Amino acid sequence: MKILAIDTSCDDTSVSLSDNDRILSNVISSQIELHKKWGGVVPVIAKRNHEEQIDFVIEKACKIARISLAQIDIFAVTIGPGLAMALEVGVKKIKELSQKFQKKVVGVNHMVGHIYANFSKNSNGKTYSGLSNNQSFPLLVLLISGGHTEFVLMKNHMDFEKIGQTLDDSVGEAFDKVANMLGWGYPGGPIIEKFARESGGKDKFNFPLPMKDSKNLNMSYSGLKTAVLRIVKEVGAESFPKINELEITDPRVTISKKPFYNVDRKTAVEIAYSFQKAAAFSLAHKLDFALEKFKVSKVLIGGGVSNNTFVRNILGKTAKEHNAKLFYPKNKKLLTDNAGMIATAAYYMASKNQFANTKYLDRDPSLSF
Ligand code: KG4
Ligand code: ZN
């Protein structure tokens, strides 16, 4: 079964071709450079860029996989959650293609995609995560992306129960906001990780761990963000971005000139490490609680924050304390937004006959489990 999948949920235009759950190509055209100067993703810019890129990315993905559009059996697309304007581009394109080639369509939940990145296989038929072919259930999933922080119990393929989530900011958002406070731009996660590495592991600020003692799987990151902001304000001089540095060329975009704080490099590195540690340990505390309660032997993680080695190490250690193992795809593309994970989710959905009625297929920006 040849599948073509598109993901345009946020700031990456991505197209993947797969043969069942084996990824043949996974092309990602990132818009990060376009959004950087705004300190976050601007929907109207994302939409326009997806429209500009989509045909080229489809062509490239087909070329790498050596498969033509006429050979595709199933067309798949992310329908949500994500930015409405951005999602629309992918949905429209998939409708066009499925009509032209008279093939079935699968509408995929982006967060389900992040879970299924763990089931994506390489051309030799091995999962990138190390999960075995005949997976037993239940599995515990921790989703840590830019928009979501959620615990999900996966009872079987395509059978999920959300068992906890953040009550405010997601952990990825906290990384992005802390980086913004320090004038480091977007996305914040990779840059905070890079600076934190220079710290030598000294936790100078010892930030409080959010909801550490609450006996449930809910999380919160806005308090941690505020605690960091207090320190940043104490030690830093307020700065404003200069308008000409922002190169505003798009008249449809208005920008709030939010201040950032000039903090000396040594202190910035210490803040980055202390923040990263608190963010990671708070996830670990919740994972500890979840494993206590659900006693599963396998934990999957998904979403952009799973790129973070420090976070992965702490979560891996916590899982081990419960005789459980942590899984994540050992493939950089599958860790952040990409269409490969959407193709894999689509394969499992198609196997269960979960096709969409193309007539009613639409984006659903706040789609949940
Ligand atoms: O899953 P993703 O690519 O997009 C969403 O579905 O939201 O996640 C993006 C998030 C951003 O908040 C980004 O800062 C974070 O993932 N991220 C990281 C790292 N790389 C990306 N956070 C921490 N450490 C990283 N190395
Ligand atoms: Zn994502």
In this structure, the chain runs to a length of: 369
Q: Which ligand sits closest to the CA of 312?
A: 1
What Å distances lie between residue 268 and 182, 189, 227, 262, 298, CA to CA?
7, 14, 14, 9, 36
- Can you give the pLDDT at residue 257? 56
- Can you give the pLDDT at residue 82? 95
- Can you give the pLDDT at residue 17? 98
Instruction: Measure CA of the first residue to CA of the last residue in the chain; give whole Å.
Output: 26
- Can you give the pLDDT at residue 238? 77
pTM summary value = 0.94
Question: DSSP readout, 266-278?
Answer: HHHHHHHHHHHHH
175 lines ligand 1 (CB under 6 A): yes
82 lines ligand 1 (CB under 6 A): no
Q: Which helix (H) or strand (E) holds 94?
A: helix 84-101
What is the Å distance from ligand 1's center to 102 Cα? 36
Q: Which ligand sits closest to the CA of 113?
A: 2
For 243, residues 6+ apart whose C-beta sits below 8 A from its C-beta are 257
14 lines ligand 1 (CB under 6 A): no
- Can you give the pLDDT at residue 241? 62
Residue with token string 């390489």: 122
Rounded mean pLDDT for each run of 10 residues along the chain, 369 residues in total: 97 96 96 73 88 97 98 98 96 98 98 98 96 92 96 98 96 93 86 94 93 92 94 84 54 57 90 98 97 97 97 98 98 96 98 96 95
Amino acid in position 167: L
What is the Å distance from ligand 1's center to 77 Cα? 21
Q: If 0-12 CB within 10 Å is exposed, 13-18 middle and 19+ buried, where does residue 319 land?
A: buried
What is the Å distance from ligand 2's center to 304 Cα? 6
Q: Which atom of ligand 1 is nearest to the CA of 148?
A: 7
- Can you give the pLDDT at residue 209? 92
* CB-based neighbours (< 5 A) of ligand 2, an ion: 145, 337
Structure tokens at 252: 């449809």
- Can you give the pLDDT at residue 250? 52
Q: Which atom of ligand 1 is nearest to the CA of 172?
A: 12
Helix, strand, or coil here: 153?
A: strand
Q: Rg (Cα) of the chain, in Å, rounded?
A: 21
338 lines ligand 1 (CB under 6 A): no
Give 235-241 contacts, CB < 8 A, sequence gap 24+: 235/261, 235/263, 235/264, 235/267, 236/182, 236/261, 236/262, 236/263, 236/267, 237/261, 237/262, 238/262, 239/183, 241/183
What is the Å distance from ligand 1's center to 117 Cα? 15
d(CA 346, CA 202): 44
Helix, strand, or coil here: 209?
A: coil
CA dihedral 34, 168, 334, 79 (to 10 degrees): -80
306 lines ligand 1 (CB under 6 A): no
Phi, psi of 287 (to 5 degrees): -65, -40
